[in-house]
């Protein structure tokens, strides 16, 4: 199977367990890998047989900057579900959601959730 990757999309959302996260908000980075057969798109040069990258971005934007959730896991699940429901040509989607600045003590670069869902 072929893959389309959309990497490091940045959004600002109000997700989290702690009150300051839902009040102040924070940055989130999202990457997608969608798995599908791109042979028809490659042979015909026709977007109908592929997935528009801008539409993938728009779906992620609406979810991350939309209704808050407590868990990054819930955010990733929503994105997976939306991609699979809106793009029937997609067989599998992997979503990475990175929370670069979570309000927990310690020294680390980020917290990241990776989730894969398929039909």
Q: Which residues are catalytic?
A: 99
Output the CA angle 13-82-115, nearest 5 degrees: 75
Q: Could you report how far apart the first and last alpha carbons of the chain are, in Å?
A: 14
| d(C-alpha 104, C-alpha 109), whole Å | 12
In terms of residues, how long is the chain?
A: 119
What three-state secondary structure class fits 111? Answer: strand
């Amino acid at each position: 199977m072929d893959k389309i990757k959309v990497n490091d999309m940045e959004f600002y959302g109000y997700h989290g367990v702690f009150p300051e996260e839902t009040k102040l908000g924070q940055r989130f980075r999202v990457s997608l890998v969608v798995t599908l057969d791109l042979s028809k798109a490659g042979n015909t040069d026709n977007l109908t047989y592929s997935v528009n990258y801008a539409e993938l971005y728009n779906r992620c934007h609406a979810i991350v900057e939309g209704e808050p959730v407590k868990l990054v896991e819930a955010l990733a699940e929503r994105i997976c579900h939306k991609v699979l429901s809106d793009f029937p040509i997609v067989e599998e989607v992997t979503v990475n959601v990175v929370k670069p600045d979570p309000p927990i003590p310690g020294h680390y670069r980020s917290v990241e959730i990776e989730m894969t869902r398929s039909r």
